[in-house]
Amino acid sequence: MEKQINVGMLGFGTVGSGVATMIRENEKQLSQKLGAAVKIKKIAVRNIEKNRDADINGSELTTDINDVIQDDSIQVIVEVMGGIEEAHQAIEKALKASKAVITANKDLMALHGHSLLKLAEEHQADLYYEASVAGGIPIIRTLEDGLASDRISTIMGIVNGTTNYILTKMKEEGWSYEHALKEAQALGFAESDPTSDVEGLDAARKMAILATLAFSMEVYLDDVEVTGMTNITAEDMALAEQFGYSVKMLGFAEKDEDGVDVAVEPVFLRSSHPLAAVRNEYNAVYVYGDAVGETMFYGPGAGSMPTATSVVSDVIAACRNILLGVAGARHIDYVNDRQIKKEDQQHAQFFHRLLVKDKIGVFSSLTDIYGKYEASLSSIIQRPGEAEGEAEVILITHPVSRKNHHKIIEELNGSDVVKSIISQYRVEGGDR
């Protein structure tokens, strides 16, 4: 008789039902690949009545998570219920029972990934989480296997589809931020409360996960410097284009001899950069390795079927390990000690747009401030302001520390020649 591996699912929302559909539709292919059948035996749902009509193909429905986790015949647990506490407890129990766990839960992995991966190793279980970052893009395996031999120094990512969709529509269709957000909500990309997307928190979670993996170092959500995108204006986008940039909401994870620097923020990105061509709700992760150089991995960042693709690929990997008797064999020990850069060690270029008094000596007052904090300027342009006696000054700095950048902003705000700081952006891809 053919071997069979039983899978238990926690949650049966859009991703969960996508997973079930894929496993059923590819039944033959899966069993041919693995030499064993894969069957979803039990599914834990909140409401059995609601799911009774769903296409569950012979799986048993239960409202009790433990009913799934404690079933000895189930070797693989797929967690697609979301949320933190309940999911955390469930995954801990499953790992302690040496079951393989597949999760799509980025919130959980960003907060408890380190301890869960340790727990998995202790109990010789696999914990896979490909779907937690950039939905359908196999970026976790790429960092773990494909680029395993290389030393990665930079990751830049468009890892939030909502913000990229909004920025694309603002740029290409001339829509306002509000209009683009509403459209994203109507299309189901953005939540009714978009805070976590537009304030950069969702992207920060993913960047913490990617940084941990790429640099083999414990990186936490709190280490990520986050700036939201709600201040981006159509005017800034037009200005960016004039200078040869595109405005993007980007995640950064960088490592050098001083340590690691992780940030999420609005950026003037050089238009020739591969990430600048990533449009609409698509995600992409750009990886720079010392040996391989520039690479980029592009695809859908969310959605039921793309996310299910990653979950089921993880299920296949976990099943293969079980069948070969090598589950939980991967060492997750971090190669590098935790070393997060302080503000005076983090360097970036910045774009400033200032409204200043149009009088003699303004330029030298300004350049004095930048000079005081060791920020040399790569561009400086003055143009007339809207009102009499005002001028607009646009500056792009060479790399400067974040600490000094904050001080510059502070002094500009206190300066009697500066009426206001209209906008500020990080600048990237300028010198490559």
Distance from C-alpha of 380 to C-alpha of 394, rounded to nearest angstrom: 6
Tokens of 211: 């940084």
CB of 300 to a copy of itself, least distance (A): 5
Residue 310 CB-half CA count within 13 A: 30
Identify the three-state secondary structure at position 192. coil
Please select the residue that binds a copy of itself; options are 5, 15, 22, 102, rule is CB under 8 A. 22
CB of 336 to a copy of itself, least distance (A): 9
385 known member of a binding site: no
Tokens of 234: 């159509």
The answer to whether residue 13 forms part of the interface with a copy of itself (CB under 8 A) is: no
Catalytic residue among 206, 248, 255, 341: 206
Pairing of strands 127-128, 60-62: unpaired
350 known member of a binding site: no
The answer to whether residue 170 forms part of the interface with a copy of itself (CB under 8 A) is: no
The answer to whether residue 52 forms part of the interface with a copy of itself (CB under 8 A) is: no
CB of 147 to a copy of itself, least distance (A): 7
Distance from C-alpha of 196 to C-alpha of 189, rounded to nearest angstrom: 13
Residues 212-241 that bind a copy of itself (CB under 8 A): 216
Q: Which of 281, 418, 286 is nearest to 352 (CA)?
A: 418
The answer to whether residue 279 forms part of the interface with a copy of itself (CB under 8 A) is: yes
Please select the residue that binds a copy of itself; options are 7, 40, 77, 137, rule is CB under 8 A. 137
CB of 153 to a copy of itself, least distance (A): 13
262 known member of a binding site: no
Distance from C-alpha of 424 to C-alpha of 156, rounded to nearest angstrom: 19
Which part of the chain contacts a copy of itself (CB under 8 A), choosing from 64-72, 73-81, 262-270, 311-319?
A: 311-319
Task: List, in sequence order, every residue forming a beta bridge with 350; answer none if it has no partner.
Answer: 426
Tokens of 331: 């060492």
Which part of the chain contacts a copy of itself (CB under 8 A), choosing from 89-97, 146-154, 372-380, 389-397?
A: 146-154
Cβ burial of 16 (10 Å; 0-12, 13-18, 19+) is: buried
The answer to whether residue 64 forms part of the interface with a copy of itself (CB under 8 A) is: no
Which part of the chain contacts a copy of itself (CB under 8 A), choosing from 52-60, 81-89, 294-302, 380-388?
A: 294-302
Please select the residue that binds a copy of itself; options are 48, 84, 329, 381, rule is CB under 8 A. 329
Please select the residue that binds a copy of itself; options are 45, 166, 308, 408, rule is CB under 8 A. 308
Q: How many CB atoms lie within 10 A of CB 421?
A: 14
Which part of the chain contacts a copy of itself (CB under 8 A), choosing from 40-48, 270-278, 354-362, 419-427?
A: 270-278
Please select the residue that binds a copy of itself; options are 138, 194, 259, 328, rule is CB under 8 A. 138
Identify the three-state secondary structure at position 330. coil
The answer to whether residue 390 forms part of the interface with a copy of itself (CB under 8 A) is: no
- Those residues whose C-beta lies under 8 Å from the C-beta of residue 171, and which sit 6 or more positions away, are 237, 241, 246, 247
Count of residues interacting with a copy of itself (CB under 8 A) = 59
- Those residues whose C-beta lies under 8 Å from the C-beta of residue 124, and which sit 6 or more positions away, are 98, 327, 328, 329
The answer to whether residue 150 forms part of the interface with a copy of itself (CB under 8 A) is: yes
Which part of the chain contacts a copy of itself (CB under 8 A), choosing from 23-31, 233-241, 379-387, 418-426?
A: 23-31
Identify the three-state secondary structure at position 76. strand
**206 is annotated as an active-site residue:** yes
| Helix orientation angle between 106-122 and 85-96, rounded to the nearest 10 degrees | 20
- Those residues whose C-beta lies under 8 Å from the C-beta of residue 371, and which sit 6 or more positions away, are none
The answer to whether residue 37 forms part of the interface with a copy of itself (CB under 8 A) is: no
Please provide the DSSP assignment of 26-59 as one string: THHHHHHHHSSEEEEEEEE-S-HHHHTTS--TTP
Distance of CA 216 to the CA centre of its chain: 17
Our CB check for a copy of itself shows the closer of 175 and 297 to be 297
Amino acid at position 358, single letter: D
| Residues tagged active-site | 206
Contact positions vs a copy of itself (CB under 8 A): 18, 22, 26, 28-30, 32-33, 35, 130, 136-138, 141-142, 145-151, 216, 272, 274, 277-279, 282, 289, 291-300, 303, 305-306, 308-313, 315-317, 324-326, 329, 331, 333, 335
Residues of the binding site: 10-17, 106, 191
Residues of the binding site for L-homoserine: 191
